Amino acid sequence: MSLKSERRAIHVDQSELLCKKGCGYYGNPAWQGFCSKCWREEYQKARQKQIQEDWELAERLQREEEEAYASSQGAQGGQTSLGFTKFEEKKSNEKARKVTTVKKFFTASSKSVPKKDPEEKSGKPVQAGGRERSADILRDLKGLFVPPWELASSAEVLYDKLRDMKEAKAPSPSLTRQYSIETDRVSKDFIEFLKTYHKAGHDVYKQCKVFLETIHHKKESNIDELSEFTQDFYQNTADKLQMYWKVPPNKVEEAMDQIEKFIMTRLYKHVFCPETTDDEKKDLTVQKRIRALHWVTPQMLCVPVNEDIPEVSDMVVKAITDIIEMDSKRIPRDKLACITGCSKQIFNAIRITKNEPASADDFLPTLIYIVLKANPPRLQSNIQYITRFCNPSRLMTGEDGYYFTNLCCAIAFIEKLDAQSLNLSEEEFSRYMSGQASPKKQDTDIWDADTCPGVKQMHRNLDLLSQLSERQERIVTGAKKLEKDLIDWTEEVTREVQDIVEKYPLHIKANSQALASIDSENVEDDRLPPPLQPQVYAG
């Protein structure tokens, strides 16, 4: 992510541009500093010489084979039966075929490299012919591209030219690139897409092609140089689209995505996990590390995801699938999309478990847990590849960049993880790491990762059922006890009541006083005030 604002200045001296032979024409680094004519002359000599040698070698080999065959024929000649001759014949045929194959192989370098050789690591053996051929193609390309102002309807013509070019290129497999179906499809889409940009699209296509050729010649150089070169290319193209062609920003972004797709589909093979770096070693280290940490439980990481909820465990599985899928994508942007997809699943899982939006405090531990569970293939290579060749505007700002950063954090954490970061004692940690002990696991964790989920579910269900029946028994016992208690209690109450009744027998006394009646005449009338009497005043 060398996104320093100041970029490598390109310092080119006039003298460096001229042909090394001093013919006055411009030279080209692709032709080792010669102009194309001088380069051809120089190269022709070397090539002729090699072809000669190859021929000689092939011929010698054939001669030797023939001699060997003749001598074996002579030695066994006396005792050959009819059947044996037949066998010999077969054998000699086989030998002859072998010889021609060898011959073919040697002559190949002068004409064309075998087209579909699966062993061939495309690009690696920059054969004599390959280089020459690609130079030719480059020139063809240049010839094909008439300046835009000479094109009547640039898009139409461009399309036709491209088609012609493809056809023209088809019989020259020497470019040592194997155009897979996908690559073809991507190119077609790309051309279709660029049609909408008219002249700018034409220009972009030209630049992409030139860029690819340049990269092709730079193949042996350091991966960091290639990365910087690619990043420069992205920036230049974006700048040019915006400044020169006045393409609106959102269209620029769209175009940049397509450009990335187009060039990275082609470069993927050469720049993903290149042999010149120790990416592969790092991959293995991380993989081993994650394997050694198989015992880490969600509880240790404080993962706020409850996998007992079926919906949540589904999401966890999806997240794991997404992160593993990253390795299968070719374009950095698609790889980023996988990381984003994985993150979204994690957020969903957290949301369902906690019922609130996930913060980074929740997200990072969960992502770490997912990475530990998934152990995604070629993790470091993928990270490095994205860092080196992704369009920087996507990686620096934006959501994808955030999730990518989190993934980097997760890996950094896993690499440095120690007892303290899992809230374990040193002793426990080293015991788990050495495999002497494993933490007390929950029922759900007893099963290996590759056990069929159905079987796991069944076992879990059986456990649940046995627990249920246990509880049922307990309830039945409880109910019986309660019933007994109730019966006992009733009896006790009855007994007590009887006891009391016996102790204090009921004597019904004669009612000495009649019940008071409001209507009777003499109810406490002595306490009542005397009735009011009408008073008569005289006068």
Partner 1 sequence: MAAGGGGGAGGSSSSKTYSFKVVLLGEGCVGKTSLVLRYCENKFNDKHITTLQASFLTKKLNIGGKRVNLAIWDTAGQERFHALGPIYYRDSNGAILVYDITDEDSFQKVKNWVKELRKMLGNEICLCIVGNKVDLEKERHVSVQEAEAYAESVGAKHYHTSAKQNKGIEELFLDLCKRMIETAQVDERAKGNGPSQSGGARRGVQIVDDEPQAQSAGGCCSG
- The conformational region for residue 8 under phi > 0 = left, psi -120 to 50 = alpha, else beta, is beta
Q: Which residues contact 354 (CB under 8 A, 6 or more apart)?
A: 304, 362
Residue closer to partner 1, measured from CB, 23 or 157: 23
- Please tell me what DSSP assigns to residue 5: S
- DSSP per position, 265-299: HHHHHHHSS-TTSSHHHHHHHHHHHHHHTTT--HH
Is 459 a binder of partner 1 (CB under 8 A)? no
Residue closer to partner 1, measured from CB, 195 or 351: 351
| Chosen residue from 193, 197, 205, 211 binding partner 1 by CB under 8 A | 211
- Are 316 and 370 in contact by the 8 Å Cβ rule? The answer is yes
Is 77 a binder of partner 1 (CB under 8 A)? no
| Chosen residue from 290, 403, 414, 432 binding partner 1 by CB under 8 A | 403
Residue closer to partner 1, measured from CB, 113 or 346: 346
CA dihedral 46, 47, 51, 57 (to 10 degrees): 40
* Shortest Cβ 37–partner 1 spacing (Å): 5
CA dihedral 504, 508, 511, 512 (to 10 degrees): -60
* Shortest Cβ 3–partner 1 spacing (Å): 4
Q: Which residues contact 362 (CB under 8 A, 6 or more apart)?
A: 304, 350, 354
**Rounded CA separation 243/239 (Å):** 6
* Shortest Cβ 229–partner 1 spacing (Å): 10
Is 207 a binder of partner 1 (CB under 8 A)? yes
**What is the contact mask toward partner 1 in residues 274 to 303, using x (rule: CB under 8 A)?**
----------------------------x-
Is 365 a binder of partner 1 (CB under 8 A)? yes
- Please tell me what DSSP assigns to residue 439: P
Residue closer to partner 1, measured from CB, 89 or 399: 399
* Shortest Cβ 237–partner 1 spacing (Å): 9
- Are 263 and 211 in contact by the 8 Å Cβ rule? The answer is yes
**What is the contact mask toward partner 1 in residues 26 to 45, using x (rule: CB under 8 A)?**
x-x------xxx--x-----
Is 413 a binder of partner 1 (CB under 8 A)? yes
Count of residues interacting with partner 1 (CB under 8 A): 69
**Rounded CA separation 107/128 (Å):** 12
Residue closer to partner 1, measured from CB, 396 or 486: 396
**Rounded CA separation 293/372 (Å):** 7
| Chosen residue from 192, 224, 239, 275 binding partner 1 by CB under 8 A | 239
Using the structure block, give the residue that is written with the tokens 């006045």.
246
**Rounded CA separation 524/516 (Å):** 9
* Inter-helix orientation angle 154-169/181-195, to 10°: 160
CA dihedral 149, 153, 159, 162 (to 10 degrees): -30
- Please tell me what DSSP assigns to residue 149: G
| Chosen residue from 48, 72, 93, 420 binding partner 1 by CB under 8 A | 420
Is 409 a binder of partner 1 (CB under 8 A)? yes
Site for partner 1 in 303-342 (CB under 8 A): none
Residue closer to partner 1, measured from CB, 106 or 234: 234
**Rounded CA separation 216/82 (Å):** 58
**What is the contact mask toward partner 1 in residues 113 to 152, using x (rule: CB under 8 A)?**
-------------------------xx--xx---------
* Shortest Cβ 345–partner 1 spacing (Å): 11
**Rounded CA separation 100/350 (Å):** 66
Chain contacts with partner 1 (rule: CB under 8 A): 1, 3-7, 9-10, 12, 17, 23, 25-26, 28, 35-37, 40, 138-139, 142-143, 207, 210-211, 214, 232-233, 235-236, 238-240, 242-244, 249, 302, 344, 347-348, 350-351, 355-361, 363-365, 392-393, 396-399, 402-403, 405, 408-409, 412-413, 416, 420-421
